[in-house]
Amino acid sequence: MNKKKLIWQLPFLTLLIVGTVLIIHQQKTLPYQTNSGMAFGTVYTITYQCDSNLHEAIKVELQRVDNSLSPFNTRSIITAINQNQDVKPDKLFLTVFNKAQEISRETDGAFDITVAPLVNAWGFGFKNGAQPDGHQVDSLRQLIGYEKVILKNGSIVKQNPDMMLDCSAIAKGFGSDVVAHLLKQHGVKNFMVEIGGEIVVSGVNPQRLPWKIGVTKPTDDSLSVNGEIQSVLNVTDLAMATSGNYRNFYYKGGKKYAHTIDPKTGYPVQHSLLSATVLAKDCATADAYATSFMVLGVDGAKKVLKRHPELMAYLIYSDSNGQNTVWCSPSLKDKIVE
190: CB partners within 8 A, 6+ apart: 27, 32, 48, 49, 202, 203, 204, 205
pLDDT over 80 at 20, yes or no = no
pLDDT digits (tens, 9 = 90+) for 45-59: 999 999 999 999 999
pLDDT digits (tens, 9 = 90+) for 263-292: 999 998 888 888 899 999 999 999 999 999
**What is the rounded average pLDDT of the residues 154-173?**
96
228 or 307, which is more confident: 307
Cα(88)–Cα(80) distance, integer angstroms: 9
**Residue 189: which pLDDT band, with cuts at 50, 70 and 90?**
very high
In the chain, where the domains are located: 42-337
Q: What is the DSSP string of 67-124?
A: HHH-TTSTTSHHHHHHTT------HHHHHHHHHHHHHHHHTTTSS-TT-HHHHHHTT-
pLDDT digits (tens, 9 = 90+) for 92-142: 999 999 999 999 999 999 999 999 899 888 876 545 556 788 999 999 999
pLDDT score of 300: 96
The reply to whether the predicted model has a pTM over 0.75 is yes
127 or 71, which is more confident: 71
Angle at 208 between CA 202 and CA 210, to 5 degrees: 45
pLDDT score of 229: 87
pLDDT score of 180: 98
- Four-way CATH pick for 42-337: 3.90.550.10, 3.40.50.720, 3.40.50.300, 3.10.520.10: 3.10.520.10
pLDDT digits (tens, 9 = 90+) for 206-226: 999 999 999 988 766 544 445
CB 130 within 8 A of CB 141: no
pLDDT score of 271: 83
pLDDT score of 222: 47
